[in-house]
Amino acid sequence: MQLRPIFGITLITALLLPCIEVRAAIFADTSNTPYATAFDYLARSQIIGGYSDGSGKPYATLNRAEALKVVMTMRSEDRARTERVRMALPPLPLFSDVDQRSWYAAYIEAAFERQIVTGYPDGSFQPSRSVTVEEAITLLLRTYGSKGTPGAAVLSPYMENRDGQWFTPYLNAVVGKNLVMHQGKMTLGTPITRGQFFDIAYRLHSITAEQQTAFTGAEPQGGTAVHTTGLVQRLQGGNIISVPQPAGVAARVTSPYASQKYFAVTLPSIGITDLAVIHPTDPFSSQGVMEPLQNGVGHLFGFPGGGGKVMIYGHSSGYPWDRSQYTKIFRKINELKTGDRVYVTYDGKMHVYEVTYEESVSASDTSKLNDNGNGEELILYTCWPPDSIAQRYLVHAVPVESIALR
């Protein structure tokens, strides 16, 4: 696999030490972060070490050599392969910019042998180049032999994704396997942090070890995650370095109804604000369609700005013992009036829709969901009346404005 090159300055980061003793206290600077469990798990599994000062630097970025060292240590077969290569390292490097005396030379040779990575067209490997979100995820999944999940982009409020890209199947897979932390949002094309990379690695390693299809562990409750992987440049010691950008800076918010989530809806006239919209991992089964409603509302058909039908669906009722905040989230959508605005943030843009009409139809009537080729239309959809599944309530809206957020 060739990890796609990114453009910009070379990030100046310290190299991960190839070997360090794992201490009981693990890392002093990770205990109050959402990444504490991941660092602890990987350290105790002897997959990662730390820096000479005992820190883990969860918010620092990760370069290609560091990422490769981690993935080639996650599986016993790859550890054995790397040691075998290290004992008989060829005198000439595979790539023009790799020094065979460097700590990462054996990892590169072994990973190339395993066909996990290749170099760039100019014959270089660029070990100090930062790894982007999509590159990191692809690297981790291919280490375990995964080719990802084909099909349209599976969406998540915690990570961007796009249709028809080389990375789409891999990002689909990490969403389906619940390998992305439910905090903040990872942005495509930006360098991944050590904490983000190690958290995905921890989840992937643990579900493989436990023979699970998806991560079911607890989400971190404490600490503060970086809400964007956007970077700003600062001058330090005469060198330009890149550091995580504070939440909200990456997006040039032009409306109070814009969201920092990748996909979200706001209905100000009925008090719904910044509600996560989630595309089902399996849109072809009733269980798959219902799954997003545990964490927000669901989405089917076209995407905002795409010119076709866009459906956002949610609960209007639930069982008496189910007190989830989302079981009755669409209970008041009948209070929307013609002319009310609906604000949908999707993929860096805010799409503004205006309600045109509302109707209730029988549960079996899907004719209004067919794309008639008359342009884009948003449909808000729920069971009706409340506490019944006899009918469906549809709010129709048409696009009136689209605002770029970054």
Each residue's pLDDT expressed in tens, for the chain with a length of 406 residues: 444 333 222 222 222 223 223 333 378 888 889 999 999 999 999 999 878 788 888 988 888 899 999 999 999 999 999 999 999 999 998 888 899 999 999 999 999 999 888 877 788 888 888 888 999 999 999 999 999 999 989 988 899 998 888 899 999 999 999 999 998 888 888 889 899 999 999 999 999 999 999 999 999 875 555 433 333 333 233 332 333 433 333 334 457 898 878 789 999 999 999 998 988 766 767 777 888 888 889 998 888 887 888 999 999 886 655 556 788 999 999 999 999 999 999 877 899 999 999 999 998 888 888 877 778 999 999 999 988 888 999 999 999 988 887 6
State residue 145 phi and psi, 5-degree precision: 80, 10
Structure tokens at 173: 């897979």
Pairwise CA distance, residues 158 & 3, whole Å: 22
pLDDT attached to residue 287? 79
Q: Cβ distance 381 to 311 under 8 Å?
A: yes
Domains of the chain: 36-244 (no CATH), 263-404 (2.40.260.10)
Q: Cβ distance 304 to 375 under 8 Å?
A: no
pLDDT attached to residue 119? 79
Q: How many CA atoms lie within 13 A of 90 on its CB side?
A: 10
Query: Interhelix angle for 105-113 vs 76-87, to 10°?
Result: 120
User: pTM for the full model?
Assistant: 0.55
Q: Cβ distance 355 to 340 under 8 Å?
A: yes
- Angle 347-35-19 (CA atoms, 0-180°, nearest 5)? 120
Q: Which amino acid is at 373?
A: G
Q: How many CB atoms lie within 10 A of CB 25?
A: 9
pLDDT attached to residue 319? 60
Pairwise CA distance, residues 120 & 127, whole Å: 11
**Helix locations, 131-193, DSSP H:** 133-143, 168-176
Query: Interhelix angle for 64-71 vs 133-143, to 10°?
Result: 20
CA–CA distances in Å: residue 396 to residues 201, 337, 354, 399, 402:
43, 10, 8, 10, 18
